[in-house]
Structure 1
């Protein structure tokens, strides 16, 4: 098979970079005729800047960051398109040991979303809680703001966000620069295992259907390389489905732990892939299948309505109109590329490009497929969002 010119793809060392890494390591890309040059980046600012200036063709990317870039919030104007979602959820809100005691003292209980939110509000009557996040234009920030706003309070009075690279977040907590953090796997597991803090919430407890990372690609590159873009979608679809199979977790974690990729504890990575979430350093774990999802046939479709909700939530903070944010977000979700790429492999495809967000309380079937495919996608407060 003829292998294309190498595509430069950036990633940040997180478990949810798995589809890209495994696409290369398991030979899926080569079988499709693609040559992928994976570029490890320390932080999200580097990914954004290199995408903006065309150093990277595409990247493992925070979905809100991709939308913000398409709205012009980047060093150089460059539209970023999303042809496939890489994973759903995967973030954890971890409180430092001092804050954990305070949360418990005012009635906060692990996993009880409203209780934790109300406890945080109670504790911030004098000053906001300092929370480390990997990037401001992220689902980490979007989810925490949604939690507080839906409880009737202004997020800025509760949270003071500090940007830290995922690899530096635990250090920021241990040095007292922040009180808590929200970060993706396996960095939260590492910190909890080291005794640095306690798990309060996983992101799926705020929104079960929250997309996390996407494959973002420069629109100019996509326009010039549509065939390769469709090949990338097929490769990532295959890799994501492969890693979602529990029987592959051991092999996948060994690959991901390699120093050139995550360079982190294999056991922590494997436990995240299996849905085993470490709550305390004493070994207390829970199994939460919705905590980190890769199953592309269920979560890979880039719903325009999902992006519109995210854009609408962030528009006031980004200094853009809600109408412009919605429009650009819907344009960025390339459902046409996803459909064209996957029709040939008989992937389950929804009949529409938008849905009522938050309306799926359980797994829902697609016409022609007996297995329930999409959902659940409920918000913690039961709201729904209809972009129409």
Structure 2
């Protein structure tokens, strides 16, 4: 299967559709090739149609019914060690209408070269085609949710014909349970959550799609001020009680990664407790926890309140790591394909706006109010601009302390699932990392929408990930996992 390609080879091809074809992989790509025939042009047309219609499994459902969809799904995942989740509600009439519309538009395209290329779908979805315009989206009041939050006061939802009510939630458990129950339309989630939910880890299996990444970086390990003279590295956390926001979080996985380097087993040598972020500040203050790894603005608030110091930014452990994501259920996407594309486009547009450093102060003001993050705008400015005090008497300037890149690299998924295995959250020795990444991460659609916005998203789905203590090669995830275990003994 094709994964890594030289940029010159890909860009040297005359047909953008054929360029795209080379970059497809996994179950969706295989079905696209089967259904599309021998022609590269036909194959990529099929791939675009499959993506727009919610995936290849929905094509099978439209043609043969839900039982055939489930059978095809089970067959394709049989070797992956992944249990299929129950078939979601599927509106065949809406799907066929959407598929036929896509085919009509695509017929107007051709493969005669980049100069004549037309996108398979319009860059602007007419509001008259939206299945639903009044939406409810869950979020937690943290800076990781910036694209979802700022899209309301700064007009990004309105730009795409949407009226959005943001529903503030108190914990990731509440978000997860609301998504399983289908209470809202879309959800702010930690990037490992859709993977865990799709695998049935910690909950019933639920078909949740990761549509785009909300933020990269943006967290820190903060230690209680009373440990200021003793904590210098990971080995110094032995015996500590450390708060994390959720088991299936990048916070938990990166903390475990860091502690292991210091020779500490995170389930034996420290005590990890799950707490909502506001309670972490109280814990640092009253001594019930020694440290926390959490999103902003809580680390900066600990510094401002004199109860903690920033020991390490997660950006220092893995530059560019994913934190939070924009998600929706497969069943909701099936019922609202045009609305979903418009909503995801608004989030990607918002994230790209937030990525520009000169917008950060404006954004801090926009998201600070009580109905959103409810924080001092100056605190949010310190986080968003990366110009901050660390609680150790240093003024630091790290512009990408938090950043916003909506592209969902599938190598993110591969690393996350290797760590699920490493720490016993996923007990499957023959787990196929590629299969779950293909099932959950909507990388192709995110690329397509970004292009329509005039952005230049990556053309690959995988990349090397350079962490503080070694490079992760997503083409060899199991080898990476075994090397970690061999080196650190767990």
Does residue 1:289 correspond to 2:399, yes or no? yes
1:192 Cα deviation (Å)?
1.0
- Taking a change above 3 Å as real, the CA distance of residues 319 and 249 of structure 1, as seen in their structure-2 partners, is closer
Give the aligned partner of residue 413 of structure 2: 307
1:225/1:268 CA distance change after superposition, 3 Å? same
User: 2:253, 2:143 → 1: CA distance?
Assistant: 20
Equivalent in the alignment of 1:69: 197
In the alignment, the residues of structure 1 paired with residue 347 and residue 455 of structure 2 have an alpha-carbon distance, to the nearest angstrom, of: 13
* Counterpart pick for 1:318 among 422, 425, 431: 425
Alpha-carbon distance in 1 for matches of 2:326, 2:258: 26
Secondary structure of 2:268's aligned partner: helix
Give the secondary-structure state (helix, strand or coil) at the position aligned to 2:312. Answer: strand
Equivalent residues of 1:244, 1:273 under 8 A apart: no
Identify the match of residue 117 of structure 1 among 234, 240, 249. 234
Alignment partner of 1:132 is 2:239: no
Further displaced range: 157-166 or 176-185: 157-166
How far apart, CA to CA, are the structure 2 residues paired with 1:204 and 1:226? 35
- Residue 143 of structure 1 corresponds to which residue in structure 2? 254
Select 2:287's aligned residue among 165, 176, 182.
176
277 and 79 in structure 1: CA distance in 2 versus 1, 3 angstrom threshold:
farther
**Counterpart in the other structure of 2:326:** 215
Mapped to 1, the partners of 2:241 and 2:144 lie a distance apart of: 25
8 Å contact kept, 1:22–1:252: yes
Question: Residues 111-163 of structure 1, C-alpha deviation per residue, up to 9 Å, x if partnerless?
Answer: xxxxx12333xxx2xxx311011111111111111112244542323331111
Once superposed, which parts of structure 1, at least 4 consecutive aligned residues long, lie more than 4 Å away?
none
1:357 matches 2:468: no
Q: Does the CA-based 8 Å contact 2:210-2:327 persist in structure 1?
A: yes
Unaligned runs of 5+ in 1: 109-115, 359-378
**In angstroms, what is the RMSD of aligned CA positions?**
1.9
Inter-partner Cα distance in structure 1 for 2:203 and 2:471: 35
Paired position in structure 1 for 2:90: none
Higher helix share: 2
- Is the CA contact (8 Å cut-off) linking 2:154 and 2:366 kept in structure 1? no
Secondary structure at 1:214 match in 2 = strand
Q: Mapping of 1:63-102 within 5 angstroms?
A: 63-102=191-230
2:174 to 46, 69, 94: 46
What is the deviation of 1:288?
A: 0.9
Q: Distance in 1 between matches of 2:342 and 2:254?
A: 32
1:279 paired with 2:371, answer no
Query: Does residue 436 of structure 2 align to residue 340 of structure 1?
Result: no
The whole-number CA distance in structure 2 between the counterparts of 1:209 and 1:219 is: 27
| Rounded Cα–Cα distance in structure 1 between residues aligned with 2:397 and 2:253 | 24
Report the 3-state secondary structure (helix = DSSP H, G, I; strand = E; otherwise coil) of the residue aligned with 2:455. coil
Tell me the residue number matched to 1:191: 302
Partner SS, residue 327 of structure 2: strand
2:474 aligns with 386
CA distance in 2 between partners of 1:86 and 1:231 (Å): 16
TM value normalised by structure 2: 0.67
Per-residue deviation, residues 24-52 of structure 1 (Å, max 9, x unmatched): 11111111112222100011111011011
Q: TM-score, normalised by structure 1?
A: 0.84
Measure how far apart 1:56 and its partner are.
2.1
Q: Is the 8 A contact 2:464 2:471 kept in 1?
A: no
**Which position in structure 1 is the counterpart of 2:136?**
8
Distance 1:98 1:12, change over 3 A: same
Kindly indicate whether structure 1 or structure 2 has the higher relative contact order, using CA contacts under 8 Å at least 6 residues apart. Answer: 1
Q: Distance between the aligned counterparts of 1:46 and 1:312, measured in 2?
A: 26
Name the structure 2 match of 1:249.
360
Which whole-Å CA distance do the structure 2 matches of 1:99 and 1:138 have between them?
25
Q: Which moved more, 1:322-331 or 1:221-230?
A: 322-331
Q: How many residues are paired up?
A: 346
Structure exhibiting the larger radius of gyration computed from Cα positions:
2
What's the offset of the Cα at 1:177?
A: 1.3
Inter-CA distance 61–204: structure 2 relative to 1 (3 Å threshold) = same
Q: Which shows bigger deviation, 214-223 or 238-247?
A: 238-247
Q: Give 1:57's aligned residue.
A: 185
Alpha-carbon distance between aligned partners in 2 of 1:387 and 1:41, rounded to the nearest angstrom: 37
Output aligned runs, 1:147-166, within 5 Å: 147-166=258-277
